[in-house]
Amino acid sequence: MYKERAGERVPIQPELVIFCGPMFSGKSAELIKELKRAPHAGYKVLAFKPALDKRRGADSINSEDGGSHPAISVKHSLDILNFVTPEIDIVGIDEGQFFDNEINDVCIRLVNQGKKVIVAGLDKNFKGEPFGPMAYLKQEAEEVQTFQAYCHTCGKPASFTQRIVNGKPANYDDPIVIVGAAELYEARCRQHHEVPGKPGVK
């Protein structure tokens, strides 16, 4: 967990960092940037993604702006521990919302081993509610960076993800997880985020 510089060993800061926000806000792009920048300082990195996400191949993290970084696709979060060796300094995890809840313990274990762990993911599902393990990860993190996109409807800052089905907003009772991109989802501000059937919303 050290880099060599001018004959001295400089330890990485063990911590959990979260990049969160709606779709199209640049979370994965920021993760990729961190993973590509760190090796220039002598740090060794390793990236992971959930096997569920096959949108742009199973062996890389990819961003909407065309960026990519090699990644290991895993079905279960505990599988990550099988790949992270002592010399790895930084562990990047994309699409954190799609992992099982054991991802929480995996991240903390890695930090306790001296790693810097960066998780990028949607903190809210299409209903505007906490998505998977992301709320717990945000609570545990030393640093949380929340990104915004541009509202597809009005262009204002957007913090919500809108699911569109046959040209209309998805209903509250629709399945939580449907993997997709621009063909199914838009970024929306609060004013234009629509969830028909959501309790307490007229």
Would you name the residues annotated as active-site residues?
A: 95
How far is 85 from 131, CA to CA, in rounded Å?
Answer: 29
Partners of residue 9 on adjacent β-strands: 4
CB 66 within 8 A of CB 191: no
